[in-house]
Amino acid sequence: MNHEEQPSQNLSDITFIGDNGIYKITWNELNITAEIDRIKETSDHEVKAEVKIISSRPTSSGHLGFGRLNLTSTPARNSFAKSLAERDAEVDWSGLIVHLCRLVLEEWRGGAPAMQLTGNVDVEAQVKWLVEPIIQLNNPTLIYGQGSAGKSWFAQYLAVLADEGSSHCNLGVEPSTVLYLDWETDSAELGSRITMIRRGLGMTGESRIWYKPMSQGLANDIETIRNLCVEHAITLVIIDSLGSACMGEPESAEVVLRTFGALRSLGVSSLIIDHTNKEGHLFGSVYKRNSARQVFHCEKAQSEDDNKLIIGLFHKKVNNSKLIKPMGFELVFNDGKITFSRQDVRDTALEEHMSLKDRIQNILRNRQGGLSVSQIAELLDKTESHIRKEISEGHRNLDLFTKLPNGNWANRSQETEEGVKTWI
């Protein structure tokens, strides 16, 4: 049956859902659905996509066609329509495929609509958290550190809290649907860790964390990940770890930007684990740091044969707010479970990783009569000139320190840090 012989059909009665290159179109009167994803545009502006046609019609129920279709090519559209007509000749496939291509191209090329910025935004309401103060809503957080520093354990701990919507250790947690993308281990190990963490938190029942082992780079497999996010309404994606997710030279700006671009296209909150170089700095391109909304350096302290691990998160970067004090957590492994508790970094071996001004404040707390510059320098193994530069009059930290009548230095005022006792 050619196009002229086919009965009229209503192509305008449709249901169109999806975004970011994943779409589903249903022609309601025809009982035909098209699923479109993996859209790519070539340098000469040809747009190709994977298209799946599904029918719930009495005469042709099931999958009718699947293939990679050039949406901008008339011969390709005609060929695809012809193959579908062989499965169900009662549908005007030529008209339907043209309609499909037009809808998808308009949506794909249109992108996000332009909007006017009025300057009347409620600024206080804009800072929203999925895990406060670590993961901002719909933004990426990067935690980096040396191998075996506890980064993955902490990420898995946050995954469990987010999955349950359970606040813990002075972390404010919103309920989330979590997808854990793993380039490092396997489902058996991660499942065991999740079980240990839940036991330590006293949780019952089952978790609902989605898990996917990864072998390709994130950008190469982003359509599959995007489909998972849509299917399961994912709100938090955990990347473990960034080097493998980039699947390329980590020093390459192009590789890193492509990976973060793919992650951004998911439109969800994300927690990214990464490693340090030999000098202890974030490994690879500076665009890793630039692309993340928040960046934390993870350090650990652990004695040999000890079942306890202290990790410290040192805030290195944030957008639109101030850096926060270091956060410490103690992990205790015992009887098939692991417990987490909040620790004051100043009272641990990780104190040496704090900023110099914070270390000086720490040395001076509870010191009646203060300390001299030479005493502070000796305690911190720094030169007197270094200490004097940090605390002397006219310096930017003058509001933190005060010189006493006896010539010693003391903390100027008390400062309260959430979850940690008052500084004195």
- For residue 176, pLDDT beyond 50: yes
- In degrees and rounded to multiples of 5, residue 285 shows phi and psi of -60, 145
Predicted local distance difference test score (pLDDT) of residue 398: 63
SS (H, E, C) 407-421: CCEEECCCCCECCEC
Predicted local distance difference test score (pLDDT) of residue 117: 83
Is position 420 within any domain? no
The residue-averaged pLDDT of 247-251 equals: 84
Query: Edge-to-edge, what's the strand order for the sheet holding 327-334?
Result: 210-213, 178-182, 236-240, 269-275, 140-145, 294-301, 308-318, 327-334, 337-343
Predicted local distance difference test score (pLDDT) of residue 147: 87
Is position 416 within any domain? no
Predicted local distance difference test score (pLDDT) of residue 413: 66
d(CA 137, CA 327): 20
CATH number of the domain bearing residue 378: 1.10.10
pLDDT band at 395 (very low <50, low <70, confident <90, very high): low
pLDDT band at 392 (very low <50, low <70, confident <90, very high): confident
Are the beta carbons of 279 and 239 closer than 8 angstroms? no
For the stretch 333-357, pLDDT in tens is 998 999 999 999 999 999 999 989 8
Predicted local distance difference test score (pLDDT) of residue 188: 96
Are residues 329 and 371 both part of a single domain? Answer: no
Predicted local distance difference test score (pLDDT) of residue 94: 95
- For residue 5, pLDDT beyond 70: no
Predicted local distance difference test score (pLDDT) of residue 125: 63
Q: Which residue has the tokens 């006293």?
A: 202
Last residue of a domain, one of 110, 144, 179: 110
For the stretch 225-243, pLDDT in tens is 988 998 899 999 999 999 9
Are residues 173 and 77 both part of a single domain? Answer: no
Predicted local distance difference test score (pLDDT) of residue 127: 58
Are residues 406 and 361 both part of a single domain? Answer: yes
- For residue 2, pLDDT beyond 70: no
- For residue 421, pLDDT beyond 80: no
Last residue of a domain, one of 49, 84, 110: 110
- For residue 419, pLDDT beyond 50: no
Predicted local distance difference test score (pLDDT) of residue 393: 53
Are residues 239 and 284 both part of a single domain? Answer: yes
d(CA 358, CA 371): 15
Are residues 289 and 403 both part of a single domain? Answer: no
Residue 342's Cβ-count burial label (10 Å; 0-12, 13-18, 19+) is middle
Are residues 143 and 286 both part of a single domain? Answer: yes
Number of domains present in the structure of the chain? 3
Is position 418 within any domain? no
Which has the closest alpha carbon to 330: 308, 306, 352?
308
- For residue 416, pLDDT beyond 60: no
Are residues 172 and 28 both part of a single domain? Answer: no
Is position 228 within any domain? yes
Is position 136 within any domain? yes
- Evaluate the omega torsion of the peptide bond into residue 133 and state whether it is cis, within 30 degrees of 0: yes
Q: Could you list the residue range(s) of the whole structural domain that residue 205 is in?
A: 127-350
Are residues 262 and 322 both part of a single domain? Answer: yes
Query: What is the percent of the chain where pLDDT is above 90?
Result: 64
The residue-averaged pLDDT of 8-33 equals: 87
- Distances, alpha carbon 124 to alpha carbons 116, 120, 354, in Å: 20, 12, 29
Last residue of a domain, one of 316, 350, 384: 350
Are residues 381 and 315 both part of a single domain? Answer: no
- Transcribe 17-39 into DSSP letters: EEETTEEEEEETTTTEEEEEEEE
Lowest mean pLDDT among 2-6, 55-59, 256-260: 2-6
Are residues 71 and 175 both part of a single domain? Answer: no
Compute the mean pLDDT over every residue in the chain, rounded to the nearest whole number.
89
Are residues 78 and 219 both part of a single domain? Answer: no
Predicted local distance difference test score (pLDDT) of residue 126: 62
Which has the closest alpha carbon to 33: 18, 49, 50, 15?
15
Is position 122 within any domain? no
pLDDT band at 259 (very low <50, low <70, confident <90, very high): very high
Is position 419 within any domain? no
Predicted local distance difference test score (pLDDT) of residue 420: 36
CATH number of the domain bearing residue 156: 3.40.50.300
Lowest mean pLDDT among 247-256, 346-355, 359-368, 411-420: 411-420
Are residues 216 and 331 both part of a single domain? Answer: yes
- For residue 280, pLDDT beyond 90: no
Is position 83 within any domain? yes
